[in-house]
Structure 1
Amino acid sequence: MTHLRRSIQPRSIAMLAALASMAAGPALAQAIEFRSLTEQAILYDTPSEQGKRLLFLRSGTPVEIVVRVDKWVKVREPGGSLSWLESRVLANRRTVLVTAERAAIRREARDDAAPSFEAVRNVVLDLVEPPSLGWARVRHRDGEEGYIRINEVWGL
């Protein structure tokens, strides 16, 4: 019995890598966009005020932008469901929502840093600086600032 061995040429490997990067390119190029609500907002099942009202979100809540259609935006809310809301209620201001039961906000971006304050689940915090090395700098509405682990918030 004769065994045939096929070797892959370097040129073939380069071509396969190029094809893979082209296929993944658009998906990798699209960044997730988050915005925060300027006021309490109604989420609908369709892009229309005549649609079914699904839920209300409070002012400051971060939402993920999925698609824009005229004056409507399809968003993913912190609970994970997809709904529509009017684009006029979106701000460029960025916030995050605490998802941990209790999150220690630290004075520095280190686990052993002194705590600045503590936030509980569903507290909305302003995002002061983009996340870096697993931490995000945040500010409470009372003015206290610090760093929170990015795995303890939603909206990044």
Structure 2
Amino acid sequence: MRPLVVALALAVGLTSLCAQSLEFRSVKETGVALYEAPALNANKLFLVSRYYPVEVLSAQKEWARVRDATGGIAWIPASALSNQRWLLVTAERAEVRAGASDSAALRFAVPRDGVLELTEAPKAGWVKVRHRDGTDGYARIADLWGL
């Protein structure tokens, strides 16, 4: 009986671990440096632009350890991050449609490395987004990073 209880507890623990959602944030300023370590005198790895999404892996005082769309891991000042959610286009081109369907009218398209603001939670392979000019629509989740 005891091994069954242990196996059940392990399964519940793993299920809750997998159910935890990822935390994505976006850079709120232009030209923010990502650092090798959580210190301003650490090596600067590269600069990111405003709206660039990152996945927050952990936080330490005034710093956040983040992963970018390429899988690179770096540190960024926590004050440079916004709660506003932006998504990065990772496909050659993301088509934004009037509805959540390939047959819906094409509203506009965004090339690779463009960004779109997340406006609603994703569902059924689509997510509602807004362009910086205010135009909105639905894009395929597979074409975006930051969800």
Which category describes the TM-score, using the shorter chain as reference length?
A: over 0.9
Query: How many residue pairs were aligned?
Result: 146
Structure 1 residue 26 displacement after superposition: 4.5
Q: Aligned residue for 1:126? A: 117
* Paired letter, 1:71: E
Q: Aligned residue for 1:95? A: 86
1:1-156 equivalences under 5 Å are: 15=5, 18-40=8-30, 41-156=32-147
1:9-67 CA distance string (max 9 Å, x none): xx789647613423404522421000011103100000000100000010000100000
What TM-score does the superposition give when structure 2 sets the normalisation length? 0.92
1:100-121 CA distance string (max 9 Å, x none): 1112111000111110101110
* Paired letter, 2:143: E
Find the aligned partners of 1:21 and 1:83 in 2 and give their Cα distance. Answer: 32
Bigger shift: residues 16-25 or 145-154: 16-25
Structure 1 residue 136 displacement after superposition: 0.5
RMSD: 1.8
> Which has the larger Rg?
1
Counterpart secondary structure, 2:120: strand
Counterpart secondary structure, 1:146: strand
- Residues 23/53 of structure 1: CA separation in 2 closer, same or farther (3 Å cut): same
- Residues 13/111 of structure 1: CA separation in 2 closer, same or farther (3 Å cut): farther
What runs of 5+ residues in structure 2 fail to find an aligned partner?
none
Find the aligned partners of 2:15 and 2:126 in 1 and give their Cα distance. Answer: 27
